[in-house]
Amino acid sequence: MPQMPQNADNHAHFAYYDKAHEVSFVWAGNPDELIEVCPGGYGEPAQDAIDPRPYGTSAPATSVGWLAWFQSIAQIYITRRYGNE
């Protein structure tokens, strides 16, 4: 996948960092926007992306629900990419 531009700061978003694999996931919260995958941590250029739509985007009732949904997508990506380490 071609390298994507660095994610913009000062915008509301969800971010999840997986320390074991040193990779961040950043999402603006819009179901039509891709989740950016940033190896090396938040603020690094995105090198992959996840389409959130196949995971179902019916609105969870709370922001905690959205965060849990977002983190589960990140965990699926990690498992597919790195296996069950």
Residue 48 lies in a domain: yes
Contact predicate 51/34, CB 8 Å: yes
pLDDT tens digits, residue range 46-72? 999 999 989 887 767 787 888 888 999
Reported as a single tens digit per residue, the pLDDT across 3-45 is 444 445 556 678 899 999 999 999 888 878 899 999 987 778 8
Number of structural domains (the chain) is: 1
Residue 53 in domain: yes
What b/e readout covers 67-81, taking b as 16+ CB neighbours within 10 angstroms?
eebbeebbeebbeee
Q: Which of 84, 17, 77, 83 is nearest to 26 (CA)?
A: 17
Full domain range(s) for residue 48: 14-82
Question: Where residue 2 falls among pLDDT bands split at 50, 70, 90?
Answer: very low
Output the pTM of the full model. 0.79
Neighbours of 25 (CB within 10 A): 25
Give the separation between CA 77 and CA 23, rounded to whole angstroms.
11
